[in-house]
Structure 1
Amino acid sequence: VNGADLFYNGFKLSEFGDPYGLKKLGIENVGVIFTRGVLLDIAAYKGVARIEVPYIVTVADIEGTLAKQKIDIQEGDVVLFHTGHGNLWMKDNEKYKAGTPGPGVTAIKWLIEKKIVMVGSDTAATEAMPGENKDRMAEAHQQLITRNGIYNHENLDLSALAKDKVYEFVYVFAPLPLKGATGSPGNPFAIR
């Protein structure tokens, strides 16, 4: 998704990657993530059960959701987007994979300025697909991961948090230390 040979911090894949994985920046170097989590229930803010595709979550949507939920975003937070799109998984897979609602690159840049450590959602991409710039694939991924070293957590089941209106919690995730991998499956959880 980096659009070139670049990885975070200016490293070049051609210098440290091989068919067996990464020699630098592998997920085995990431420890347990234990920090404040914030759920942005964009679907509830918009008054719908599910945000339809295509929809790009804007800065105004984020600010409106924060005001409605009476919370803020702080440095070091994990910010999770509930769009309701995840409810399609294993029920209507064609619609699920037809695109994803989520933040556009403008909203992602706004979150980056807040110095978050991770973003995630109940969609397969977290970001809107298609995004703001139709000719740039996964532009928000590039801003988050490649340029800023911010993690992205996709396909999260956020329905229970949204149903219970839990907007602040302790977020815990321990990635599997898969040597040389660019990511990890796992089971994050929220402590209320």
Structure 2
Amino acid sequence: MTRQHTRLEDFRVVGERLRNWGRWGPEDERGTINFITPERLVAAGRLICRGAIFDLGIPFDKSGPQDGAFRSNPLHMMSETGAGQDFPGGFKFADDYVLMPLQCASQWDALAHVHYDGLLYNGFPADGITTKGAEHCSIDKQAKGIAGRGVLLDIAALKGVDWLEAGTVIEPEDLDEACERQGGVEVGTGDILLVRTGWRRKFLSEGDPAAFMAGEPGLGQACCAWLHEREVAAVGSDNWAIEVLPGESPDAFLPVHLILIRDMGMSLGEILDFEELAEDCHRDGVWDFFFAAPPLKITHAIGSPINPVVIK
């Protein structure tokens, strides 16, 4: 797709227009998750008809997509195996622990993850992020969990490819066309939108972390208004940064992150696996479902590992 750098609106202008600051009060640190009301959560539960479960998290192990340049894959170590233990009655136990960046595999971005001009979502000062963590908008503020009606839009299938190429911009028109192609499924208030680019399939096919991290297809900046208009609660993808890379403009790095997280207060779910779910959706024609992905309550953290679950 040809890039129109000169026509891309400045992200600060877009962010100011779409900003949700104060919408849920001056002390709010949850953002668009507030769109998931008790009534919408109950309605989402009614989507469970078959009892079919799909896990969207990738394995947390050394085979992950991180190439070590910025983040590493999880390191799993055993502290006890039972060897050398001598307890009454022959009792033995095993223990282990994991050393990992919180955002190296399937994960949520907290609303403190990105900022600009010295401010976080809802106007909280960015200098509240210190070596001790984030004073405001940390992932534990989403501790009630992120659950509700999920909708999968398969953009790779829409384009007739196994995966979109790096640098492919997903436009609002693509999202609309996918909705129509998928039986007229609608995306609305309080929904959790899942966007399949095929990037997870690319990694599974090639096993190349460097290629996975070098760029990606993803949402273009114009999709921010599309999400805002529909009052989407959260968005997730099978790539590692939601948005297209290389980006649409050389003048801004990750502008979709800045608009969605900092201005709109939208949590982003990254490095998800939609392959099994997408296959099932194509088979039964049902593209909406109950989705649940609670973060770990890591105090003052900027993100959290997750294993999202879809139940149909």
**Are the equivalent residues in 2 in contact too, given 1:109–1:143 (CA < 8 A)?**
no
101, 112, 126: which one aligns with 2:228: 112
Unaligned runs of 5+ in 2: 1-113
Q: Report the number of matched residues.
A: 191
**Are the equivalent residues in 1 in contact too, given 2:115–2:126 (CA < 8 A)?**
no
Give distance in 2, aligned partners of 1:133 and 1:145. Answer: 19
**Are the equivalent residues in 2 in contact too, given 1:88–1:95 (CA < 8 A)?**
no
Question: What residue is the counterpart of 1:183 in the other structure?
Answer: 303
Question: What residue is the counterpart of 1:19 in the other structure?
Answer: 131
**Are the equivalent residues in 1 in contact too, given 2:162–2:201 (CA < 8 A)?**
no
**Are the equivalent residues in 2 in contact too, given 1:27–1:178 (CA < 8 A)?**
yes
How high is the sequence identity, in percent, across the aligned residues?
A: 36
Question: What residue is the counterpart of 1:84 in the other structure?
Answer: 198
Question: What residue is the counterpart of 2:158 in the other structure?
Answer: 45
> Structure 1 residue 134 and structure 2 residue 250: aligned?
yes
**Are the equivalent residues in 2 in contact too, given 1:36–1:77 (CA < 8 A)?**
yes
Question: What residue is the counterpart of 1:125 in the other structure?
Answer: 241
Partner of 1:184: helix, strand, or coil? strand
Alpha-carbon deviation of 1:111? 1.1
Code of the aligned partner of 1:10:
G
Give distance in 2, aligned partners of 1:103 and 1:29. Answer: 26
Give distance in 2, aligned partners of 1:63 and 1:37. Answer: 16
Partner of 1:120: helix, strand, or coil? strand
CA deviations on 1:102-160 (whole Å, 9 max, x unpaired) are: 11010122112211110110001011112222321110011111001111000000111
Unaligned runs of 5+ in 1: none
**Are the equivalent residues in 2 in contact too, given 1:175–1:184 (CA < 8 A)?**
yes
Could you list the runs of 4 or more consecutive aligned residues of structure 1 that deviate by over 3 angstroms after TM superposition?
Answer: none
> Structure 1 residue 4 and structure 2 residue 117: aligned?
yes
Alpha-carbon deviation of 1:101? 0.4
- Please tell me the root mean square deviation across aligned C-alpha atoms, in Å: 1.3
Code of the aligned partner of 1:24:
H
Code of the aligned partner of 2:219:
P
Give distance in 2, aligned partners of 1:35 and 1:145. Answer: 19
Question: What residue is the counterpart of 2:172 in the other structure?
Answer: 59
Alpha-carbon deviation of 1:60? 1.0
Give distance in 2, aligned partners of 1:134 and 1:80. Answer: 27
TM-score by length of 2: 0.59
Alpha-carbon deviation of 1:3? 3.1
> Structure 1 residue 73 and structure 2 residue 187: aligned?
yes
Give distance in 2, aligned partners of 1:110 and 1:92. Answer: 33
Partner of 1:89: helix, strand, or coil? helix
Code of the aligned partner of 2:189:
E
Q: How does 1:143-182 map to 2 (within 5 A)?
A: 143-165=259-281, 166-182=286-302
Code of the aligned partner of 2:192:
V
